[in-house]
Amino acid sequence: MELNVNQQSLIKNIPLILSCYHVKLEAMQKDCIYLDNNATTKVDPEVIEAMLPYLRDYYGNPSSMHTFGGQVGKAVRQAREQVAALLGADESEIIFNSCGTEGDNAAIRAALLAQPEKRHIITTQVEHPAVLNVCKQLETQGYSVTYLSVNRQGQLDLNELEASLTGNTALVTIMYANNETGTVFPIEQIGLRAKERGALFHVDAVQAVGKIPLNMKTSTIDMLTMSGHKIHAPKGIGALYVRRGVRFRPLLIGGGQERGRRAGTENVPGIVALGKAAELELFHIEEATTREKRLRDRLEQTLIATIPECEVNGDPTQRLPNTTNIGFKYIEGEAILLHLNKHNICASSGSACSSGSLEPSHVLRAMGLPYTILHGSIRFSLCRYTTEAEIDAVLSVMPSVVERLRALSPFKSDQANWLQQQEQALLTKS
Ligand SMILES: Cc1ncc(COP(=O)(O)O)c(C=O)c1O
């Protein structure tokens, strides 16, 4: 029997399909120590409970005229109130969408469309790609973009911001807190300067929501992006806050959903989940962030005290309570992660980009970290489920992991000349 092209391709890929299946099973069978909460979070069981009826039973379309759809509309309204409460905003200022990336894209495009006469944007060198890559694309379309620099602690210089603002600046788009280092920017001070020059102010608060108390009523922020999967809701749901009175042009055009600001039939289970997650974040924020900070500090301080030649990357005081990014000199972050993985510990390194290349993180590079630290940096990010025992487990394995890798490291201090050359090459490249 002759096989067609599709059948041949399927047979060729069977080993790959089976290996993916195997990997998935392996991951599901194990309970891991999950310290990668800035990447994504576990869905809260209460959130799952809240959304299930809208997957299983109440599948109506909230825009329908009948009662079956109407009752779903009520759930969407409640979720909007819950999200607005977390942000200190009005319900009418919340637009549900699919994720943080969509929120960032929509806010930036909307700001430019609303002010076609202005062609300048200000952002920072350390934004998430959801902002940076939009800005890069806009440069090819005739916009000019200022990428503000950061210092060794990842902080901005407000004088540089002031000097960059002109009457032509349509938008200042700056993250609340950095996903890699946790460094928190002085958002209200930035907003005041943007307002003085008549620019709109968008804040990517994907990492800040639920970790820093927010009140849009007293804020200078015009638009704010948040994402469900960073706050114990599922992936595929997010929201954009748009201050009442700010002219908004939708990214997605179609039906009149979200008051004409984001077309597409609503992801009702996701919206209900985001509402519940927002309610829980608001309920837990004080006690959870205090606890996370205590655990984070213990982890960080003990690692620094017990492992030679390592240091914290990021602002020592203006930092998210759940995040620590530590550079271990002379070794590769990816090698540390592989060892941690063997102990069932999930963390992250900023140095591998999604394309799989081993280019160092753009955030740590912008901070001007030396080559020796740039490649050996690891981020641990906690959440309200993190336990003392999990921190103890990390503390018990890290010293031996680092020691073992350093024993094999070709970068150790006797190779100082080689390192200097690498650093020089990197500086020349940047
Ligand atoms: C600061 C920041 N902005 C935007 C995003 C993108 O969010 P999403 O994954 O929901 O598209 C992320 C995700 O990691 C992030 O950390």
Q: Which domain-ending residue is among 219, 252, 281?
A: 281
For residue 178, tell me if it sits in a domain.
yes
Take atom 16 of ligand 1 and give the residue whose Cα is closest. 179
The CATH code of the domain that includes 66 is 3.40.640.10
Index of the ligand 1 atom closest to the CA of residue 130: 4
Pocket test for ligand 1, best of 127, 173, 207 (most atoms within 8 A of CB): 207
pLDDT digits (tens, 9 = 90+) for 82-112: 999 999 999 999 999 999 999 999 999 999 9
Q: Report pLDDT for 371.
A: 86
In this structure, the answer to whether residues 260 and 379 fall within a common structural domain is no
Index of the ligand 1 atom closest to the CA of residue 177: 1
Question: Residue 260's pLDDT band (boundaries 50, 70, 90)?
Answer: very high
HSE value, Cβ hemisphere, 13 Å, CA-based, for 244:
8
The DSSP secondary structure of 37-87, one letter per residue, reads TTT--PPPHHHHHHHHHHHHT----TT-SSHHHHHHHHHHHHHHHHHHHHH
For residue 12, tell me if it sits in a domain.
no
Burial call 396-419: b when 16+ CB within 10 Å, e when fewer: ebbeebbeebbeebebbeeeeeeb
Question: Residue 2's pLDDT band (boundaries 50, 70, 90)?
Answer: low
Q: How many Cβ atoms are within 10 Å of 387's Cβ, its own excluded?
A: 11
Asked whether residue 325 carries a pLDDT value surpassing 80, the answer given is yes
99 in catalytic set: no
Take atom 4 of ligand 1 and give the residue whose Cα is closest. 100
Question: Residue 354's pLDDT band (boundaries 50, 70, 90)?
Answer: very low
- Mean of the per-residue pLDDT values of the chain: 91
Percentage with pLDDT > 70 across the chain: 86
Helix axes 129-139, 100-114, angle to 10 degrees: 30
In this structure, the answer to whether residues 303 and 232 fall within a common structural domain is no
Distance from residue 21's CA to the centre of ligand 1 (Å): 27
In this structure, the answer to whether residues 263 and 389 fall within a common structural domain is no
Q: Report pLDDT for 355.
A: 44
In this structure, the answer to whether residues 220 and 353 fall within a common structural domain is no
Q: Report pLDDT for 359.
A: 79
Pocket test for ligand 1, best of 183, 212, 230, 235 (most atoms within 8 A of CB): 230
Question: Residue 331's pLDDT band (boundaries 50, 70, 90)?
Answer: very high
Asked whether residue 57 carries a pLDDT value surpassing 50, the answer given is yes
Asked whether residue 196 carries a pLDDT value surpassing 50, the answer given is yes
Q: Are 122 and 165 in contact (CB under 8 A)?
A: yes
Does ligand 1 have an atom closer than 6 angstroms to the CB of 181?
Answer: no
Q: Report pLDDT for 353.
A: 46
Take atom 8 of ligand 1 and give the residue whose Cα is closest. 100
Q: Report pLDDT for 29.
A: 43
pLDDT digits (tens, 9 = 90+) for 175-195: 999 999 999 999 999 999 999
> For residue 318, what are the CA distances in angstroms to 93, 182, 202, 204, 306?
28, 8, 20, 17, 24
In this structure, the answer to whether residues 307 and 263 fall within a common structural domain is no
In this structure, the answer to whether residues 407 and 323 fall within a common structural domain is yes
In this structure, the answer to whether residues 386 and 260 fall within a common structural domain is no
Q: How many domains does the chain have?
A: 2
In this structure, the answer to whether residues 277 and 325 fall within a common structural domain is no
In this structure, the answer to whether residues 240 and 214 fall within a common structural domain is yes
For residue 34, tell me if it sits in a domain.
no
CA distance 70 to 224: 29
* Structural domain that includes position 378: 285-429
In this structure, the answer to whether residues 260 and 190 fall within a common structural domain is yes
Take atom 9 of ligand 1 and give the residue whose Cα is closest. 100
In this structure, the answer to whether residues 266 and 376 fall within a common structural domain is no
Does ligand 1 have an atom closer than 6 angstroms to the CB of 97?
Answer: no
